[in-house]
Amino acid sequence: MNKTIIVSNRLPLQIQVEEDGEVTAKPSVGGLATGMKSVHRDSNGIWIGWSGVKDEDLTPEIEKKVNKAVESEQCVAVKLNEHDLDNYYYGFSNRTLWPLFHYFLEYTEFDKGYWESYVEVNKKFVEVVIAQAEEGDTIWVHDYQLLLLPALVKEKIPNISIGFFLHIPFPSYEIFRTFPARKEILEGMLGADLLGFHTYDYERHFLSSVKRILSLEVNFNEITYGNRIIKVDSFPMGIDYHKFKDAALHHHKQTEIEKSEIQKRLDQHLQYDKDVKMILSIDRMDYTKGIPNRIRAFEYFLKKYPQFQEKIRLIMLAVPSRSEVPQYQLLKKETDELVGRVNGEFSTVSWTPIWYFYRTMPFENLIDLYTSSDVALITPVRDGMNLVAKEYIATRTNQDGVLVLSEMTGASKELDDALLINPFNFGEIADTIKQAIEMPKAEQKRRMKGLQKRVARYSVEKWAEEFMHSLNNVEQNLADVIDA
Ligand code: ADP
Ligand code: G6P
């Protein structure tokens, strides 16, 4: 039977080797992994990616255990060593492409060694893809770590159908043109038969770069490349709506012993501070997420509207991410200091304005947070999509709660009923927080209904279906042309 092979840098599970040599698996964090996981679960395909364990830590015995854990989830591991991780992952992927594509030019490092490693690791991935692919299979490559892979696969297996989806923004031509490897990157991506982006803007930016950098003919959303026609389109990624909705509906209260720290804190909030409104933010600790902006805007809100002091609390959950990259370390330091400053300035004996958690959380605790908060405050300065916003919507089964969302997220293009803000405008954020807290229930309900309708309809299943349908059409058209 034909299968779909998903390929991404990270697998949906991350393996850890414990001190006693046992291996444990944790779900990966991030939109790509959480979103694609349900697509993979419902398919008969396989998923190729890195297991989370570097080669240097693999004894034959450990490798066997890692492979067993990975295979039990229909995954296949690509082996990466420390040099690969330092140069391809922390280097070119996260010190070059990530900042550049998120408009952080000042953070972008162009380093020849990083680039060479990026090429080399993309070639490592192609070897595993070749070993797994059979005639009639479809290859679906994901994200910025593997931009060269589509062309490498096309070169080795010309007749296989290849889709590519970018989970982050594609920057405007004026940004992309600064990139020394701009030509190679575009040529790598053009190995795919269909290229997908979250929004029409990213698609347009990509097409503009293809036109101007490669001087290729672009007709509406089709690119003529040698004897191939490549299709480009936007597919806004959704979430597994029912998983989140059902989890919120059937959420069971745990016993005192089972309760995590966060649940105990939430209980405390509900018991003693039930008149204190709760504002929630959840992100990976990443400089694109606008975390310092958010704290400063919250501080400004408390100053501008002192009547809300002791009446409101910001609960901030940040998941550790890429902590070997200096900018992420600086961000962590800045966040710690800002939280300390605001809490130092405003706390009273009975009230702390910000509760800040820096850790990953089990799924149930995320649901606890989503369902207990009055407002979600999502303020990225740049974000390809932002699935957290959609997850918040899906869990609001009473149709209350208000979403305050940055207009710099891909999600803002779909979620008209959210309160949209410019994350650089503290005055606007402060006023919008006030508007959100004071919003009448009827308006909350009207907006939430609209948001839920959209997020329920364009679920991740629908997203994957539309992408695959479009990819099959490209293939079909091609076959028709060849037959004619
Ligand atoms: P990004 O992909 O940039 O990390 P998204 O908002 O699109 O941003 O996706 C983040 C994903 O990570 C969401 O699916 C969210 O549920 C998950 N997540 C965020 N924080 C945590 C956490 N503390 N523990 C577990 N999962 C988390
Ligand atoms: C974003 C990226 C993903 C990445 C995730 C987590 O969602 O689009 O490709 O997997 O962040 O980052 P990490 O570097 O830990 O894989």
Taking residue 269's Cβ as centre, other Cβ atoms within 10 Å add up to 17
The tens digit of pLDDT for each residue in 326-385 reads 999 999 999 999 999 999 999 999 999 999 999 998 899 999 999 999 999 999 999 999
pLDDT at 339: 98
Q: What is the DSSP letter of 90?
A: I
Whether the predicted pLDDT of 260 surpasses 80: no
Distance 177 CA to ligand 2 centre (A): 24
pLDDT at 251: 75
The tens digit of pLDDT for each residue in 324-336 reads 999 999 999 999 9
Instruction: Tell me the C-alpha distance between 51 and 71, whole Å.
Output: 11
Taking residue 256's Cβ as centre, other Cβ atoms within 10 Å add up to 8
In ligand 2, which atom is closest to the CA atom of 143?
9
The token pair that represents 24 in the structure block: 């444990």
Distance 29 CA to ligand 1 centre (A): 5
Give the chain's mean pLDDT.
Answer: 94
Q: How confident is the model at residue 267 (pLDDT cuts 50, 70, 90)?
A: confident
Distance between the two ends of the chain, CA-based, in angstroms? 28
Distance 429 CA to ligand 2 centre (A): 27
Whether the predicted pLDDT of 481 surpasses 70: no
pLDDT at 256: 61
What residue owns the CA closest to ligand 2's atom 16?
10
Q: Give the pLDDT mean for 390-417.
A: 98
Distance 454 CA to ligand 1 centre (A): 20
- Decide which of 294 and 41 is more confident: 294
Nearest ligand to the C-alpha atom of residue 323: 2
Predicted TM-score (pTM) of this structure: 0.96
Q: Give the pLDDT mean for 85-95.
A: 98
Judge if ipTM > 0.95. yes
- Decide which of 238 and 482 is more confident: 238
168 lines ligand 1 (CB under 6 A): no
Choose the residue to mutate in 149, 167, 285, 289 for probing ligand 2, maximizing ligand atoms within 8 Å of C-beta.
167
317 lines ligand 1 (CB under 6 A): yes
Choose the residue to mutate in 10, 80, 149, 283 for probing ligand 2, maximizing ligand atoms within 8 Å of C-beta.
10
pLDDT at 478: 63
Choose the residue to mutate in 287, 387, 409 for probing ligand 1, maximizing ligand atoms within 8 Å of C-beta.
387
10 lines ligand 2 (CB under 6 A): yes
Beta strands in 332-415 (DSSP E): 354-358, 375-378, 402-406
Instruction: Tell me the C-alpha distance between 201 and 294, whole Å.
Output: 25
Q: Give the pLDDT mean for 456-482.
A: 86
Q: How confident is the model at residue 268 (pLDDT cuts 50, 70, 90)?
A: confident
Whether the predicted pLDDT of 480 surpasses 70: no
In ligand 1, which atom is closest to the CA atom of 282?
20
State the alpha helices, DSSP H only, in 273-325.
291-304
Distance 194 CA to ligand 2 centre (A): 22
Q: Give the pLDDT mean for 430-445.
A: 98
pLDDT at 476: 65
Q: Give the pLDDT mean for 148-163.
A: 97
pLDDT at 259: 67
Three-state SS at 327: helix
Distance 252 CA to ligand 1 centre (A): 22
Distance 252 CA to ligand 2 centre (A): 30
The tens digit of pLDDT for each residue in 205-224 reads 999 999 999 999 999 999 99
Q: How confident is the model at residue 255 (pLDDT cuts 50, 70, 90)?
A: low
Three-state SS at 196: strand
Longest dimension (CA), the chain: 80
Distance 392 CA to ligand 2 centre (A): 20
* Least confident segment among 239-243, 263-267, 277-281, 397-401: 263-267
Distance 199 CA to ligand 1 centre (A): 20
pLDDT at 459: 96
What residue owns the CA closest to ligand 2's atom 4?
30
Q: Give the pLDDT mean for 36-64.
A: 94
In ligand 2, which atom is closest to the CA atom of 168?
8
Q: Give the pLDDT mean for 455-462.
A: 97
**Sign of the torsion formed by the C-alpha atoms of 269, 270, 271 and 272:** positive
pLDDT at 265: 76
Q: Which amino acid is at 444?
A: Q
